[in-house]
Structure 1
Amino acid sequence: MRYTLLLHYPEMTEEQLGPEGVAEGRRAFAAYAQALDAAGVLLSAEVLRHSENTTTVSAASGTMQVQDGPYSDSKEQLGGTFVLDVPDLDAALEWAKQAPPVQWGAVEVRPGAVHYADGAWHGDE
């Protein structure tokens, strides 16, 4: 079953983190991705740019609006995702507990409903 780990954590610039903090973060994420890949459960992973680079599009008010910046104005932002294929929620939770951001933020574990691959939608029909 597909699960997406949504990584939420306080954003810091490279200057705020410092060279050692940046290097440690990169090592932690690389080791985590390698462990998921070695276990054969990693489908994809992406670290997102800082939320100041975000543009949000919405027509929920009835009018199309394009807004610079994230939708949510909070201390923690969505920083990246890992998409896993694991047997069940318990397995997804075990991997989430090992994600680096769990130490300084939160990891949301959400089951996938459908996904698009090879020219078609797959999953819950």
Structure 2
Amino acid sequence: MRYTLLLHYPEMDAGSLGEEALAAGQRAFSSYAAALHQANVLISAEVLQPSSSTTTLTKSDGALRVQDGPFADTKEQLGGTFVIDVADLDAAIEWAGKAPSVDWGAVEVRPGATYTVDGAWRPNA
């Protein structure tokens, strides 16, 4: 079953982290991604740019509204995602607990409902 691990953590930038902490974080995430890949459970991974580069779309009374920046003012951001394919929720929780960012933020585990392969929708089962 496919699960998306959503990595939430405090908004920070490379300047405030410092080179050493940034390099350590990059090594930790590379190691984590390699472990997921080696276990043959990694479907995809994505590191997101800072929330300040977000563009949010909403619709009100039929009119599309485009807003620069995140929709909600928050101190935490969605920093990245890992999509994994594992046997069950317990296995997904085990992998989520190994995510480096669990030490400084939340890791949300959410099962997918459907996904596409070659343009065809498939149920996540």
TM-score, scaled relative to structure 2? 0.96
How far apart in 1 are the matches of 2:35 and 2:72?
31
The answer to whether structure 1 residue 65 and structure 2 residue 69 are counterparts is: no
Tell me the number of residue pairs that the alignment of Structure 1 and Structure 2 aligns: 124
TM-superposed deviation, 1:11: 1.6
Aligned equivalent of 1:10: 10
Where structure 2 has 5 or more consecutive residues not aligned to the other structure, the ranges are none
Where in structure 1 do 4 or more consecutive aligned residues deviate above 2 Å?
A: none
TM-superposed deviation, 1:72: 2.1
Aligned equivalent of 1:27: 27
Aligned equivalent of 1:107: 107
Task: Using the aligned pairs only, state the percent identity.
Answer: 64
Where structure 1 has 5 or more consecutive residues not aligned to the other structure, the ranges are none
Matches within 5 A, 1:83-122: 83-122=83-122
TM-superposed deviation, 1:116: 1.4
TM-score, scaled relative to structure 1? 0.96
Q: Is 71-80 or 44-53 further displaced after alignment?
A: 71-80
TM-superposed deviation, 1:124: 5.2
Structure 1's 32 and 8: CA in aligned 2 closer, same or farther, altered over 3 A?
same
SS at match of 1:98: coil
